Copies of this chain bind each other. A is one copy, B any other.
Amino acid sequence: MADLTEFELIARAFMRPVPTGMTGGGDDCALFAVPPGMQLATSTDLLLEGRHFFSDVDAQALGHKTLAVNLSDLAAMGARPLACLLGLGLPRIDMPWVDRFAEGFYALADRHACPLVGGDTTRSLHDITLSVTVFGIVDPAKVLRRDAARAGDDIWVSGQLGAADVACRMLAGTLAMDAEVLAQTRVALERPEPRIALGLALAGLAHAAIDVSDGLLQDLGHVLKASGVGAQIDEALLPLHPALAGLSEEVVRQAALAGGDLYELCFTADPADAIAVTQAARAAGALVTRIGRIAADPGLRVFDRSGAPLRAPPVGFDHFR
């Protein structure tokens, strides 16, 4: 394989055809159209070995996750995926690894009609370095923003909380290993499913939305700050992942309220729309749970299972702490 040039590597693994009307990799830029009246939504993420994924992670799962975390940003705006770009820095060329990575990436891209239309490959000095940029389209009248929460809104979250955090901490050695719990939670860490269908179903129905990739409290805090409102969350309402049942209260609280690497949507909606929200979510294949309410007063108050306010809710994920 040492004879492969950078360009042959790209050609072999990442040059699948792109849809008619798009120009893909192989020119200086990818080209595509945006339908009239729609806005382009775009987001980029860096994923670094040893920070965002373990060095021994399965390459196929990594390919999946690399795209999934970006698609999740489109989901949080209610945008429909259009295309993506991939930047790939590798310390060496390991074609079986690249092929498996591409397999995981393309499988998710195909499922969401989000063709890979360009990118960049380079040799890295030490670590695998990934960057993905996704593009989606959204009707500006229906887009889900962070700044659209209103006092009195219900606060909802999709899916279940805590699994990815527990799996990550067990793999990192900061939480006692329990093979059975890990087996049940690892899929949430390694193969998150972006909530594209849910985001589309909520566009024009929900008010504010965000994905909780940095932890529920921290990301909800961004919504509150952007919207100029406060909120109350009830721990008793949180949809915990069932594998967390045997863990300590402190570990569960940390995982549910502050655990990052979670690609569920937290959104707000008019209480009068609660049934419409539930039905829209079900049609989109997602469970959604009401976990609290937006208040006019600033601040985020969390109440424990006894109804008492938590004095020091766990803080969310910060890459620089």
Q: Residues of A with Cβ closer than 8 Å to B? A: 4-7, 9, 23, 26-34, 36, 39-46, 48-52, 72-74, 76-77, 79, 85-89, 93, 117-127, 129, 131, 133, 135-136, 138, 140, 143, 145-147, 209-211, 222, 226, 318-321
- The answer to whether A42 and B26 touch (CB under 8 A), given A133-B133, A320-B9, is no
Selected from B23, B51, B125, B133, the residue in CB contact (under 8 A) with A123 is B51
CA distance A41 to B46 in the complex (A): 21
CA distance A119 to B88 in the complex (A): 17
Selected from B27, B33, B85, B146, the residue in CB contact (under 8 A) with A133 is B85
Selected from B27, B50, B88, the residue in CB contact (under 8 A) with A125 is B50
Are A89 and B133 in contact (CB-based, < 8 A)? no
Q: A127 — which chain B residues lie within 8 A by C-beta?
A: 124-127
CA distance A319 to B120 in the complex (A): 11
Selected from B74, B85, B318, the residue in CB contact (under 8 A) with A7 is B318
Q: A4 — which chain B residues lie within 8 A by C-beta?
A: 320
Are A27 and B319 in contact (CB-based, < 8 A)? no
Who on chain B is nearest to A145 by CB? B27
Who on chain B is nearest to A320 by CB? B6
Who on chain B is nearest to A7 by CB? B318
Who on chain B is nearest to A88 by CB? B46
- The answer to whether A31 and B77 touch (CB under 8 A), given A6-B320, A93-B320, A125-B48, is yes
Selected from B30, B33, B129, the residue in CB contact (under 8 A) with A129 is B129
Are A89 and B5 in contact (CB-based, < 8 A)? no
Are A135 and B42 in contact (CB-based, < 8 A)? yes
Selected from B28, B42, B51, the residue in CB contact (under 8 A) with A30 is B42
